[in-house]
Amino acid sequence: MTPGSRRIAEVYDQVIGRNPGETEFHQAVSEVFDSLHRVLAKHPEYVDASILERICEPERQIIFRVPWTDDTGTVHINRGFRVQYNSALGPYKGGLRFHPTVLLGTVKFLGFEQVFKNALTGLPIGGGKGGSDFDPKGRSEGEIMRFCQSFMTEAYRHIGDRVDVPAGDIGVGRREIGFLFGQYKRITNRYESGALTGKGITWGGSLVRTEATGYGTVYFTEHMLHTRGRSLDGATVLVSGSGNVALYAIEKVHQLGGTVVGASDSGGSVYDPDGIDVDLLREIKEVQRERISSYAEQRGSAEYIPNRQVWAVAEKTSVDVALPCATQNELDEDGAKLLTKAGVAAVAEGANMPTTPEAIRLLREADVLFGPGKAANAGGVATSALEMQQNATRDSWTFDHTEQRLEEIMESIHARCAATAEEYGTAGDYVSGANIAGFIQVADAMIAQGVI
Ligand code: NDP
Nearest to 311 by CA among 258, 365, 353, 347: 347
Measured between alpha carbons, how far is 142 from 43 in angstroms, rounded to an integer? 54
| pLDDT of 1 | 83
**CATH classification number, 210-371, choose in 1.10.150.120, 3.40.50.720, 3.90.180.10, 3.40.1390.10:** 3.40.50.720
Whose CA is closest to atom 44 on ligand 1? 351
394: CB partners within 8 A, 6+ apart: none
**Boundaries of every domain in the chain:** 1-57+428-452, 60-191, 210-371
| pLDDT of 266 | 96
Measured between alpha carbons, how far is 235 from 232 in angstroms, rounded to an integer? 5
Residues with CB under 6 A from ligand 1: 168-171, 213, 241-246, 264-267, 325-327, 330, 350-352, 377, 380
| pLDDT of 19 | 98
Name the residues annotated as catalytic.
Answer: 129
Which is the closest atom of ligand 1 to the Cα of 327? 32
Nearest to 74 by CA among 172, 149, 143, 144: 143
pLDDT below 50 — which residues of the chain?
Answer: none
What kind of architecture, by CATH, is found in domain 1-57+428-452?
Orthogonal Bundle (1.10)
Whose CA is closest to atom 16 on ligand 1? 266
- 313-348 pLDDT, tens per residue? 999 999 999 999 999 999 999 999 999 999 999 999
| pLDDT of 229 | 98
Q: Which uninterrupted H or E stretch holds 75?
A: strand 75-86
| pLDDT of 47 | 96
Q: Do 1-57+428-452 and 60-191 show the same overall fold? A: no
CA of 170 to the centre of ligand 1 (A): 5
| pLDDT of 15 | 98
| CATH, domain range 60-191 | 3.40.50.10860
pTM beyond 0.85, yes or no: yes
| pLDDT of 238 | 98
Whose CA is closest to atom 37 on ligand 1? 169
